[in-house]
Structure 1
Amino acid sequence: MSLTKDELRASNAARQTEVEGRWSELLRPDHLAATVTLCLGVALFAFNEFLISTALPTAVEEFGGAALLSWAFTLYLVFAIVGGAVAANQKARFGARNTLIAAALVFVTGTVIATVATGMPQVLAGRLLQGLGEGIIAAVCYALIPELFPPRLVPKIFGAEAIVWATAAFAGPLISGLLTEYWSWRAAFFVNVPAAAMFLVLVGAIVRQPGQGGKKTTGSVPLLRLTAFGIGILLISVSNMAGNGYATAALLLMALAVFINTIHIDRRSPNAILPSGAFSVGRPLGTGLWLVLLMPLAQASGSVYLVYALQHLWGFSPTAAGFSSALMAMSWSATAILVASLRSHHLRVQLIWTGPLLLCLGLIGLTLAVGTGEHRLIFISQIAIGTGFGVCWGTLSQLLMDVSTIEERDKTSALLPTLQSAGYAIGAAVFGVTANALGFDEGASDPVMSAAMLGVFAIGCAIAAASLFFGARTLRLLRYAAPHGQAAEQISR
């Protein structure tokens, strides 16, 4: 039903009071515990990623089995995505508090197993459980944002989470490096335990368990579809370890077939994992989800190969090369804070399309930097890429929650971090195939390596251009729906 002019004017007036949320409100007694809890949930995921990536090589040196190093990351990623996919179902069945507590205990169990491991098989088992627990925690924390905070504070909480990620990007490798060098790699693993214990206490204190009448009706866990999704992600991850380009391409095609078939089955299921309209090009939710997938996929070109290129093509030290990633994280966080401080939700929504545009320009800059040998372009490009994510990511996440029905909001919210992880995984595999096909190798000459990097970043540009199309289409669909009353509230807020 369309809104009348008077109703729309009243809605705008009511929303105007809501858009004036202040950062200081996150620290008020009625929101402080919820803010700390959700940021700590994100911190567990973010710090664990940077802590473990720094400490794992030392564990491999102690136990041997260097060939299993990649599996420590692969198993974590696969089960994090599976955990995220099942999170909405578990939240509906058991409530957010019980689900978070169970997931945190699974994460702690995995951490302890890896910490006391006597060989790589135990480390792998611990990483598997860490991934499963973290996937559920990240997804449920996203789903709780619109439940624990009024709309005026949702942009601020996304900005706060961006600060957590930037802090993890800086402090994670430093803390892990110091613990590993002066104590033990086991200490870098174990540091997650007290953080998880604090998270458990906060969840028990602030997340309310719904009464019997408040629980949603949900079907059984769709194990077959979850297994299929997991196999698809595993095929993608394994493809990056394949010995030749043909085997890699075959594994990627198999993964694509698995995803298409599983999504088709899921859409017809009464107990769907995905929200209705997911990936539909005719609905804002569908095009927005494509944006969530494609932007990390395109950015993976830089995250996988940029530091390596700086060290081997321009002779940068590891610290100096790593500064490029820090620039991206700083730009993301700084821009996210600025955008979250804008009082007009309408303006924030209209800025969404500039995110993929800046990403595309940044990747074009990386391509030009490799082609011309001008390394200073890399740092400018990294700032552009980080700014692109910062200007749109929080608003896009809030928008997708807004356009979902109340019944499916949990599915959409939980899907966001899961889809982001899937984008990075797919991107790493796609760009691995590209680089290997163009002759990328540890002993490759500089011209061959430059050609491989050009191919990687050129494909990244093409994927970023596709994300720009979906960003612009999302806004067009919202404008079309607004006169019919279907999205007027989202645009006017």
Structure 2
Amino acid sequence: MHSASSSRWSELIAPPHLAASLTLMLATAIFAFNAFLVSTAMPTAVGELHGEAYISWTLTVYIVASITAGASAPLLKARFGARRCLFVASGVFAVGTLAAALSPSMELVLIGRTVQGAGEGLVAAIAFALIPQLFPSRLVAKLFGAEAIVWAVAAFGGPVLAGVITEMVSWRAAFFVNLPIVAIFLLLVHVAVPREARNHDTGFFPGIRLGLVALAMMAISIAGVALEEPWQASIVVLGAALCLIAAVRIDLSAHVSILPHGAFGLSSISGLGLWAIFLLPLAQSVTGVFLVYAVQHLWGYGPAVAGGIGAILAVAWSSGAVTVANFDGRGRRVAFVAIGASVLMVGLLVGLSAMAQHLLALVMLSQLVIGLGMGVAWGSLCQVVMETQLEDERSKASALLPTLQSAGYAAGSAIFGLVANLAGFATDRSPEGLRFAMIVAFAAAALLALPSLGFALRMGRLHRAGTYE
């Protein structure tokens, strides 16, 4: 095993892999730019359409549709083929974009956002499922590094682009930026994604399982945005967890499953890895929920400075991902997962200290450390989960990764919203009251990062023992 990978970055843009690399990076760009474009343009849309009561729902319906569609990806890919699924999903996303951009009311914007979410969730899941199919193992880490760079560019460029277009033209024009990206993506899919043999023996459509997933994600989202009483939110979150457990149990006994073999088992690297895929974003989501708000209301900076501090995380994530992509070997990848999870824990503790001591410098350091931790861990974790699965289950495992990531962020947003409200966030708007709520939220995030760190360390022990299944 060499210290540096035998692959080169230039191979991603060499003729054998160029079209596939651009296709998967553009799939990431669709997700990333849409997220930042919409988050920047939506407040203006809400004001124009007098839909203030619905602003949180523009994200809620998108996430629920995205996760539900992503969960269906393995069966849809098997039955119709990745190429056809990507064409249809991209079209669905474009239709949702047009519907939202041209809507005369907030109700129709919500419908458009739901359709957008369904299309994007399927695109992301199918794109991930294609990674082990289109790239040799030695290039996968570099592909994840390249995708992390796309995220960083979107984190800085998306809000600026959307802000300029919204101010100079309209919020509707900002939505339309998605359409040229989708058009180029469709062309690349035609070139890069091979036709596949279709498997018609995929059983009945898993409506009950997907319905339970959708119900659970909607319940989690409602708990995070619509319930004021903590006891109500707690009951709803518990009900959502029971729905997800029921969906997993039904799937495990199904003739044709959505989940890969051994999903969420605690005795295999891949099972533990799926838990980490869910739990790492869950813990990290505290920054997405509160950081920009805290910088504005505790330190008095405007949206531009607060957004810039928030974007430090994306740049650090990219830096970490690119650095570890230069090293190869499963042992190193498993080690990077544990290192990244440890660094994430340190970053959350720095964030906790920043809130407790009211130091903006520590806030920026926290963003840097958290981003580095996620960047070091994420690509390695995804690759380990893909490659420790049985050969015929890798497509299912790969497709599940972006869906689980989104589910982790959604669950984290709801949990930290609930925790902060319990600490007085919704009732005490004074600086001291807000600071106390932030201290409690970051402390909760550090505690919730412990299981993912424990799972990462156990993955290392199983690897050293040679236990993969």
Task: With the length of structure 2 as denominator, give the TM-score of the two structures.
Answer: 0.97
Question: Which residue in 1 is equivalent to 2:336?
Answer: 351
Query: Compared with structure 1, are the counterparts of its residues 103 and 78 closer, same or farther at alpha carbon in structure 2 (3 Å cutoff)?
Result: same
Tell me which of 273, 280, 291 is aligned to 2:258.
Answer: 273
Question: Which residue in 1 is equivalent to 2:302?
Answer: 317
Tell me which of 341, 345, 354 is aligned to 1:369.
Answer: 354
Matching of residue 264 in structure 1 with residue 249 in structure 2 = yes
**Secondary structure in 1 aligned to 2:465?**
helix
Amino acid at match of 1:301: V
Question: Which residue in 1 is equivalent to 2:191?
Answer: 205
Structure 1 residue 400 displacement after superposition? 0.5
Q: Deviations over 1:408-443 (max 9, x none)?
A: 111110110000100010001001111111111376
CA distance in 1, matches of 2:309, 2:44: 24
**Secondary structure in 1 aligned to 2:426?**
coil
Tell me which of 24, 30, 39 is aligned to 1:53.
Answer: 39
Within 5 Å, which residues of 2 pair with 1:167-206?
Answer: 167-206=153-192
**Do the aligned partners of 1:55 and 1:188 also contact (CA within 8 Å) in 2?**
yes
**Do the aligned partners of 1:100 and 1:136 also contact (CA within 8 Å) in 2?**
yes
Question: Which residue in 2 is equivalent to 1:229?
Answer: 213
Query: Compared with structure 1, are the counterparts of its residues 391 and 62 closer, same or farther at alpha carbon in structure 2 (3 Å cutoff)?
Result: same
Tell me which of 426, 431, 445 is aligned to 1:460.
Answer: 445
Amino acid at match of 2:60: T
Query: Compared with structure 1, are the counterparts of its residues 18 and 312 closer, same or farther at alpha carbon in structure 2 (3 Å cutoff)?
Result: closer
Matching of residue 27 in structure 1 with residue 13 in structure 2 = yes
- Larger deviation, residues 450-459 vs 341-350: 341-350
Residue correspondences, number: 468
Structure 1 residue 332 displacement after superposition? 0.5
CA distance in 2, matches of 1:333, 1:46: 13
Tell me which of 109, 126, 151 is aligned to 1:123.
Answer: 109
- Larger deviation, residues 299-308 vs 419-428: 299-308
CA distance in 1, matches of 2:93, 2:191: 19
CA distance in 1, matches of 2:3, 2:194: 27
Amino acid at match of 1:54: T
Unaligned runs of 5+ in 2: none
Question: Which residue in 2 is equivalent to 1:4?
Answer: none
**Do the aligned partners of 1:222 and 1:271 also contact (CA within 8 Å) in 2?**
no
Question: Which residue in 2 is equivalent to 1:295?
Answer: 280
Amino acid at match of 1:228: L
**Do the aligned partners of 1:349 and 1:396 also contact (CA within 8 Å) in 2?**
yes
Structure 1 residue 379 displacement after superposition? 1.1
Amino acid at match of 1:423: G
Within 5 Å, which residues of 2 pair with 1:82-481?
Answer: 82-211=68-197, 215=199, 217-240=201-224, 241-441=226-426, 444-481=429-466
Matching of residue 75 in structure 1 with residue 61 in structure 2 = yes
**Do the aligned partners of 2:3 and 2:327 also contact (CA within 8 Å) in 1?**
no
Q: Deviations over 1:250-300 (max 9, x none)?
A: 211111111122212221112221112111111111111111111110111
**Secondary structure in 2 aligned to 1:30?**
coil
Structure 1 residue 316 displacement after superposition? 2.3
Structure 1 residue 452 displacement after superposition? 0.9
**Percent pairwise identity:** 46
CA distance in 1, matches of 2:7, 2:304: 39
Amino acid at match of 1:263: V
**Secondary structure in 2 aligned to 1:351?**
helix
**Secondary structure in 2 aligned to 1:341?**
coil
Q: Deviations over 1:27-73 (max 9, x none)?
A: 11111111111100110011000001111111111111211111111
Amino acid at match of 1:235: A
Question: Which residue in 1 is equivalent to 2:50?
Answer: 64
Question: Which residue in 2 is equivalent to 1:491?
Answer: none
CA distance in 2, matches of 1:345, 1:403: 9
Structure 1 residue 243 displacement after superposition? 2.4
Structure 1 residue 18 displacement after superposition? 11
Structure 1 residue 216 displacement after superposition? 7.2
Task: With the length of structure 1 as denominator, give the TM-score of the two structures.
Answer: 0.92
Amino acid at match of 1:396: L
Within 5 Å, which residues of 2 pair with 1:479-490?
Answer: 479-481=464-466
**Do the aligned partners of 1:292 and 1:419 also contact (CA within 8 Å) in 2?**
yes
CA distance in 1, matches of 2:427, 2:131: 45
**Do the aligned partners of 2:312 and 2:368 also contact (CA within 8 Å) in 1?**
yes
Q: Deviations over 1:162-205 (max 9, x none)?
A: 01111110101011001100001111111111111111111112
Max radius of gyration: which structure? 1
Structure 1 residue 374 displacement after superposition? 2.1
Structure 1 residue 362 displacement after superposition? 0.5
Amino acid at match of 2:165: L
Amino acid at match of 1:112: L
**Secondary structure in 1 aligned to 2:155?**
helix
- Larger deviation, residues 277-286 vs 98-107: 277-286
Amino acid at match of 2:108: Q
**Do the aligned partners of 2:66 and 2:118 also contact (CA within 8 Å) in 1?**
yes
Structure 1 residue 312 displacement after superposition? 1.4
**Secondary structure in 2 aligned to 1:385?**
helix
**Secondary structure in 2 aligned to 1:353?**
helix
CA distance in 2, matches of 1:285, 1:303: 27
CA distance in 1, matches of 2:427, 2:305: 20
**Do the aligned partners of 1:18 and 1:152 also contact (CA within 8 Å) in 2?**
no
CA distance in 2, matches of 1:18, 1:353: 19
- Larger deviation, residues 90-99 vs 306-315: 306-315
